Amino acid sequence: MKRISSVLLALVMAVTLVNCKAVQNANNKQKGAVIGATGGAILGAIIGNNVGKGGNGELGAVIGGVIGGGAGVLIGNKMDKQAQEIEQEVPGAQVERVDQGIVVTFEDGSGVYFDTNKYNINSASQTTLNKLVGIFKENPDTNLLVIGHTDSTGDAGYNMTLSKNRATSVTNYLKQNGVSSGRLTTNWFGETKPVHDNATAEGRAKNRRVNIVILPNEDMIEDAKREAGN
């Protein structure tokens, strides 16, 4: 499990994110959140250092800032526990603890599989997602963002649609298996947010990925504040 400091990434992205638009399909509670240090770090973990190069929308409206003090420590402890559980239960997942959030990445062939040009959830992917469903149900006080990406092979417009369909398939599977729709937001970026070199086969495989971002929701935040006496 990796840990990422938000400070540098937040500074790099601050100017870009000032004018960010709300995610098109975010719910009202999520639209009210404010971008903060966690937002900068999580965006970096999701899309690398390519903020502002396209995509269907910005994620800033659904990613909140760091909660400080004792409440922040309590939230961090809960997210640490959940991240460790994901690492133990889902060996194909790349798990990063980013301040008070968790970024789970499934690269091509690493737990959530899609056949070439397909977006259906196959049996291998179901096994992985079923494990995540169990963890998400055990930790209901979180919001979940599902984000799809592709490599740069083929038409950019087609890749955008493919990334949308793949992310939506994951979101729908989570809903169908008991994860509340109110916790879920879907986004997609096609080929516009590479984190590796598309000139190599290995890089393209890593760019064909799905992220699931886990964030404390208002209930967790308020409970932590009460427990900490904030």
The secondary element (H helix, E strand) that includes residue 87 is helix 69-89
The span from the CA of 217 to the CA of 223, in Å, is 10
Q: What one-letter code names the amino acid at 79? A: M
Token pair belonging to 165: 């369909």
Closest of 83, 108, 92, 61 to residue 4, by C-alpha: 83
Which amino acid is residue 107, in one-letter code?
Answer: E
- How many angstroms separate the CA atoms of 56 and 19, rounded? 15
Q: Would you say 128 and 89 are in contact if contact means Cβ atoms under 8 Å apart?
A: no
Helix (H, G, I), strand (E, B) or coil at 194: coil
Tens-binned pLDDT, residue by residue, of the chain (230 aa):
766 544 333 322 332 332 333 233 333 233 233 345 677 888 888 887 544 444 444 566 678 788 889 999 999 999 999 999 999 999 889 999 998 999 999 998 889 988 888 899 999 999 999 999 999 999 999 999 999 999 999 999 999 999 999 999 999 999 999 999 999 999 999 999 999 999 999 999 999 999 999 999 999 999 999 999 86
In a 3-state reduction of DSSP, which class is residue 142?
A: strand
pTM equals: 0.81
Q: Which helix (H) or strand (E) holds 164?
A: helix 156-176
CATH of domain 2-228: 3.30.1330.60
Query: In terms of Cα–Cα distance, which of 86, 43, 91 is closest to 187?
Result: 43
